[in-house]
Amino acid sequence: MRLSPKYRAIIRGADTGILPFFVRILLAAGAGFYALAVAVRNKFYDRGWLKSHKLPLPVVCVGNITTGGTGKTPMVIWLCRFFLNRQVKPAILTRGYKACGSETNDEIQILQKALPDVPVIIDRNRVRGGQKALADPQVRVIVMDDGFQHRRLKRDLDVVLIDCTCPFGYDRLLPRGLLREPKNQLCRADMAILSRCDLIEKNMLDRLSRQVQQLLEKTKLKEIAAPKIVAHCRHEPAALYKAEGEKVNLVWLQGKKVLAFCGIGNPQAFIKTLRQLGADVIERHFFDDHHRYTDRDGIFLQAFCGKIDYDALVTTEKDWVKISRLPAVETLKDLYWLKIETVPTYNRQRLENRLDQICRDIKQEKP
């Protein structure tokens, strides 16, 4: 769905007044119908009235319980590199949100750039997409991106990403909040990974970890195949690049006057990261999540930069892969983009043990 800064301000209650108040009432009514639809659908799958399909390859699913940015793309990259390091070739299965015809979206472009030897299969029908992956005899495991709610395809490991800076989407279902389904549905997951752990206080992180662990363990199954795991990861700035391609030391940002812009699910986390790197963010602009940049946006950014003196205009990698094609970008002064990578921290060994078990099972089978 469309996540604009205005929409976020309304649902979290920051936008006050009569009109936002009535908008929230309408959104709450819509959330009631949405909750009913989600409950019926999940019940049909729980009872077996809707069928899930099993592939002959193991499936590792990376998903979330809220809409917006939780860090799925960096985690998919980390998982694929993990399997490649163990000589197990993965394929990525994604629905290609906001891809248009032959044009791929920002996330797919990042995946293809980071993992040139890993096939990326784009199909809204994940079962059909998974069957396409079987055509490559070298593929031994499928990593499904953004698939927690896609229950038609069975998975061997269900990993849910939870953004510590907005863990449960203001504790309301869509469209009144950002929850795709009630929090208690986390019981379907095998593992929850709390992302951006470095952006909240330790006592808040500990409290959130305990809450998520309790939600994971409230399973309706009589027996759990393996212990449920809560792990942590941080989104670590890996590099800063000039628009011309030159790599710059991250230390360079310290004390610099920075203009920032982005069109991602959690723009505030991007700003926090820049400030942690020592940047003085003097102005910022947020586009909608998955914003499709046009020449008009290039002209807007030129005006945006002309308002104030600055040392660097910084954006995210997701935004860079889209704006890099705009002619107006060449006229933007001191344009940089920040590369982020996922680094598992707490319970990393338990996470790797689960993945190693999948690798062992794969290698024991006949190719």
Amino acid, res. 22? F
pLDDT for 68: 79
Residue 141: closest CA among 71, 58, 213: 58
Contacts of 27 (CB under 8 A, 6+ apart): 10, 11, 175, 176
59-235+343-364 and 237-341 agree in CATH topology? yes
Q: Could you identify the residue written with the tokens 């363990």?
A: 217
176 with 27: CB under 8 angstroms?
yes
Q: What is the C-alpha to C-alpha distance for residues 156 and 120, in angstroms, rounded to an integer?
A: 19
Name which CATH class applies to 237-341: alpha beta
Distance CA 61, CA 59 (A): 6
CA atoms within 13 A on the CB side of 50: 12
CA 96-97-98 angle, 5° bins: 110
DSSP-derived 3-state class of residue 278: coil
The whole model's pTM is what?
A: 0.90
The residue ranges of the chain whose pLDDT is under 70 are 1-2, 97-104, 220-225, 366-367
How far apart are the two ends of the chain, measured CA to CA in Å? 40
Distances (CA, A) of 335 to 208, 249, 260, 328: 37, 15, 10, 12
Q: What are phi and psi of 239, to 5 degrees?
A: -165, 155
In tens, the pLDDT along 287-341 reads: 998 888 998 998 899 999 988 899 999 999 999 999 988 887 888 899 999 999 9
- H or E element at residue 282: strand 280-286
Dihedral (CA of 55, 60, 64, 70) sign: negative
How many whole angstroms separate alpha carbon 240 and alpha carbon 248? Answer: 5
Q: Are 206 and 167 spatial neighbours (Cβ–Cβ below 8 Å)?
A: no
Specify the pLDDT at position 179: 96
Q: What is the pLDDT of residues 6-29, one digit of tens each?
A: 898 899 988 889 999 999 999 999
- Residue 224's pLDDT is what? 60
Of 206, 214, 229, 265, the residue nearest 66 (C-alpha): 265
Structure token digits, residue 304:
């945006």
Q: What is the pLDDT of residue 178?
A: 95
CATH architecture type of domain 59-235+343-364: 3-Layer(aba) Sandwich (3.40)
Alpha helices in the chain (DSSP H): 5-11, 18-47, 72-85, 106-114, 126-133, 202-217, 267-276, 295-305, 317-323, 348-364
The structural domains of the chain, with segments of one domain joined by +, span 5-47, 59-235+343-364, 237-341
